[in-house]
Amino acid sequence: MKYGQLHSCKSLYLASPRGFCAGVSRAISTAELALERFGAPIFVRKEIVHNACVVKELSAKGVVFIEELDDIAWAEETQPTVVFSAHGVSPAVFEAAKRANLRVINATCPLVERVHKRAKKCAEDGYNILLIGHKDHDEIQGTLGVIRAFGGKVQVVERIEDLENLELEEPCKWLSQTTLSRADTLKIVRTAAEKFPFLEVNAGLDICYATTNRQAATHELAKTVGKNGVILVIGSKNSSNMLRLVEEARRLGVDAFRLEDADALDAKCMQRLVDTQNIGITSGASVPERLVEEIVHKIVDEFPTTKIQTITTTVENTHFVALPGSLQK
């Protein structure tokens, strides 16, 4: 017997915008076009975007994911193709690729490149940099590499507590990862500015439009499902922007948990849905819509009287049309 035959009709709310952002779409298209143009295998340094399903599908088409350029195994007489992921790389990685005579295709998101440009300018102008972000994240590793390559001094803070024992020297500017919580980043910046009054204010946050929009949509979704509701956030556990969506829902007191895909919606999760009237679904910026659809089908299959509604906070129209130069020929 279906759960829905035992329980009242459920309301299923879908956040919009959700899923793929312009940078992720561009990075995946770049890897696919590189495969088409140069043939399998092509190498991608790090995950092209942080989603296990995307990585699995590209692997099946002939992409070989590597951690570092040294992992490339290739016959010496030919030139291997390597794609750099959406999260960006440091200048040292470009130099290493040049030394190894690799054909480089750079799929870095233009919004990460914008942060790299700001980082370079700050370093060249002699600023010390307070970099807000997750130390081990690929994007922060790339931005750190840019700052150091241009002679800048940098300190990374992940959480407000990290400011306690921090010493900064004048002049100083702050930069951040693109996929952070807007609310948490602003708190860190305000606290840092109180402790270090010389910290110069930036014109805007480095957090990108897609992260901002998905957080706002999740905020609205959480208000809609209410404290007795449940929000399912679809995404892989190493996706920074997805984890921020879980936090955003919980900030409003809503029970939220992450699902990788429909297989993760097991009997235990389904039981949690039995106990609630309102279910919300959102997904991180690297999640294919197909994964959301499969979860919706599974829920509707279990609760056949479910009513589905989309909660739209913003209509996105950002597209990065231009692919990396080497693929435009």
Residue in this structure with the two tokens 């979704």, named with its chain if needed: 221
- Please indicate whether residue 139 is annotated as part of the active site: yes
| Catalytically annotated residue among 57, 67, 113, 139 | 139
Q: What is the binding site for ligand SF4 (CB under 6 A)? A: 21-24, 86, 109, 111-112, 178-179, 208, 210-211, 241, 285
State the burial class of residue 249 (Cβ atoms within 10 Å of its Cβ: 0-12, 13-18, 19+). buried
- CA angle, 47 as apex, 325 and 158 as ends, to 5°? 105
Residue in this structure with the two tokens 């840092």, named with its chain if needed: 192
Residue in this structure with the two tokens 């950002």, named with its chain if needed: 318
Closer Cβ to ligand SF4, 48 or 262, answer by number: 48
Report the DSSP pairing between strands 63-66 and 42-45. parallel
Q: Which residue is nearest to ligand SF4 (CB)?
A: 23
Q: Which helix (H) or strand (E) holds 200?
A: strand 199-200
Closer Cβ to ligand SF4, 25 or 278, answer by number: 25
- CA angle, 307 as apex, 301 and 311 as ends, to 5°? 120
Closer Cβ to ligand SF4, 141 or 241, answer by number: 241
Report in angstroms how near the CB of residue 48 gets to ligand SF4 at its nearest: 10
Report in angstroms how near the CB of residue 282 gets to ligand SF4 at its nearest: 14
Closer Cβ to ligand SF4, 111 or 192, answer by number: 111
User: Structure tokens of 242?
Assistant: 């997805």
Contact 156, 175 (CB under 8 A): no
Own/partner long-range contacts of 55-60 (Cβ < 8 Å, ≥24 apart): 58/28, 58/31, 58/32
Report in angstroms how near the CB of residue 235 gets to ligand SF4 at its nearest: 12
State the burial class of residue 308 (Cβ atoms within 10 Å of its Cβ: 0-12, 13-18, 19+). middle
Report in angstroms how near the CB of residue 324 gets to ligand SF4 at its nearest: 14
d(Cα 27, Cα 144) in Å, to the nearest integer?
Answer: 21
Sequence-distant (≥ 6) Cβ neighbours of residue 75 within 8 angstroms: none
Closer Cβ to ligand SF4, 22 or 232, answer by number: 22
Q: CA 316: distance to chain centroid?
A: 17
Closer Cβ to ligand SF4, 191 or 202, answer by number: 202
Closer Cβ to ligand SF4, 128 or 283, answer by number: 283
CA-based nearest residue to 129, from 160, 173, 170: 173
Report in angstroms how near the CB of residue 54 gets to ligand SF4 at its nearest: 12
Sequence-distant (≥ 6) Cβ neighbours of residue 275 within 8 angstroms: none
Report in angstroms how near the CB of residue 80 gets to ligand SF4 at its nearest: 25
Q: Which residues are catalytic?
A: 139
